[in-house]
Structure 1
Amino acid sequence: MLRVEHLSKSFGGVRATKDVSIDFPAGSLTAIIGPNGAGKTTFFNLISGHVRPDEGRVLFDGADIVGLSSLEVVRRGMARAFQVAALFPSLTVREALTAAVVSHRRGSARVLSRFPVPEAVRRADAIMEMLGLGPKAEILSANLSHGDQKLLDIGLALAMEPKVLLLDEPTAGMGPEERWRMIGKVHDLWRATGMTVLFIEHDMDIVFRIAQAIHVLKYGAVLARGTPDEIRRNQDVIDAYLGTDHRLSETVGEA
């Protein structure tokens, strides 16, 4: 589905990504973790077309997508929800999702149509139902709670009908209860759709709870990769990122 080969990127004299090669099988749920400055968001920027790598390939459904615009990458089937939600603040939840669906399916000329295509409204309602946003359908996006804004941002990505979904710190800025609610929605979404999902996350309890595979970055390079149990016990990862608490504690049960 998605394969990254020898990806490298420098900004000035700083090498942000160093010869990264990772394979993401179709239908997988993968966490990208690492200390601050490890290159996680840069990695997402490279594979989603927001930044062009200096070297390497990004193979999506067998085709190299390096050099394509981020819009064309979306059209190929890769969508992204950002750490800071990118919303339509003056639109209701239903209006925002409907506009996104219309934009994707019909072209930007009809985004502001006064009478949206019924099919687009049905798709928007289905996304709301999937994410538990149905009761918030008529609330302005700007008036949603932080957690619901993040869910709406994921919904806007789903409106692009992706095969691969990138989530950049989906629980950032949330309290414990809201964080677990969010990650439960992400896990349910993954199981319901069979999409390939990649997510960046700092909360290791969440990572160990839901990820099938984990790739650890440090200074832009892959430090380790493996199952949650393997990563929890990897001494290099413990020294660089986790600390001893995660090595000594029991693995959290599967969701």
Structure 2
Amino acid sequence: MLRVEHLSKSFGGVCASRDVSIDFPTGSLTAIIGPNGAGKTTFFNLISGHVRPDEGRVVFDGADIVGLSSLEVVRRGMARAFQVASLFPSLTVREALTAAVVSHRRGSARVFTRFPVAAAGRQADEIMDLMGLSPKAKVVSANLSHGDQKLLDIGLALAMDPKMLLLDEPTAGMGPEERWRMIGKVHSLWQVTGMTMLFIEHDMDIVFKIAQTIHVLKYGAVLAQGNPEEIRRNKDVIDAYLGTDHRLSETVGEA
């Protein structure tokens, strides 16, 4: 689905992405982790068209998309939900999702002049069901809880009919119960849709619980990649990011 080849980007004298090459197979659920400043958000910006790389290729669904605008990348099937929810604050949940569907179908952000076609409303209802937001259909978006706002933000990305979904720290700012509710919904979404999904996350318990594959970045470069068990026991990753806690807890659990 997505192949990144020798991707590099510098801002002034700071190298934010350094010769990164990663494959993301169709239907995969992949985590990007690493310490602060590792280049995780820059990587998302590079592959989604928000920032142009200095070198390298981003091949999405068989085509090199480097140089395309972020809007065109979305139109080709890569959608992104941001760390800070981007909502239609004055609209209800159903209105916001319907507006997003209409906007995507018309290829225009001018969605408020007339509202909306029945098919768009039905798609909005399907997205609400998928995200567990149907009981909040008539709630104004700005009045949602933080967790529900994040769910709505993912729903707005789904309104773009993506082939691949990027999630930038989907559990950021949540308490323990909300975090597990959110990540359970993300995992369920992946299982139900079979969509290719890529997420950035700092909570390692969550990463090890749901990710098929984990890529670890450090100073903009790939430090390690593998399945959760391989990453948990990788000495370089333990030294650079995890510390010994995760490995020790796993060892104790096996005793």
Sort the TM-score into its range (normalised by shorter chain).
over 0.9
Distance 1:208 1:112 in 2: 42
Equivalent position of 1:234 in the other structure: 234
Structure 1 position 72 matched with structure 2 position 63: no
Equivalent position of 1:22 in the other structure: 22
Paired AA for residue 22 in structure 1: I
SS at match of 1:174: coil
What's the CA shift for 1:219?
0.3
Equivalent position of 2:88 in the other structure: 88
SS at match of 1:49: coil
Equivalent position of 1:44 in the other structure: 44
What's the CA shift for 1:112?
1.3
When the two chains are superposed, the root-mean-square deviation of aligned CA atoms in Å is 1.2
Paired AA for residue 218 in structure 1: K
What's the CA shift for 1:106?
2.2
Paired AA for residue 189 in structure 2: L
Paired AA for residue 230 in structure 1: E
Could you state the TM-score of these two structures normalised by the residue count of structure 2?
A: 0.97
Equivalent position of 1:167 in the other structure: 167
Equivalent position of 2:143 in the other structure: 143
Distance 1:115 1:63 in 2: 35
Equivalent position of 2:33 in the other structure: 33
What is the percentage of aligned positions where both structures have the same residue? 87
Distance 1:173 1:166 in 2: 18
Distance 1:37 1:18 in 2: 13
SS at match of 2:16: strand
Could you state the TM-score of these two structures normalised by the residue count of structure 1?
A: 0.97
Equivalent position of 1:246 in the other structure: 246
Relative to structure 1, is the Cα distance of residues 88 and 109 closer, same or farther in structure 2, using a 3 angstrom cutoff?
closer
Distance 1:212 1:130 in 2: 22
C-alpha contact (below 8 Å) 1:102/1:110 kept by paired residues: no
Distance 2:11 2:96 in 1: 35
What's the CA shift for 1:57?
0.2
Relative to structure 1, is the Cα distance of residues 126 and 13 closer, same or farther in structure 2, using a 3 angstrom cutoff?
same
Structure 2: gaps of 5 or more residues: none
What's the CA shift for 1:127?
0.2
Distance 2:123 2:202 in 1: 32
What's the CA shift for 1:110?
5.7
* CA deviation vs aligned residue, 1:151-205 (integer Å, no higher than 9, x gap): 0000000000000000000000000000000000000000000110000000000
Equivalent position of 2:219 in the other structure: 219
Equivalent position of 1:186 in the other structure: 186
SS at match of 2:229: helix
Structure 1: gaps of 5 or more residues: none
Runs of 4+ in 1 over 6 A off after TM superposition: none
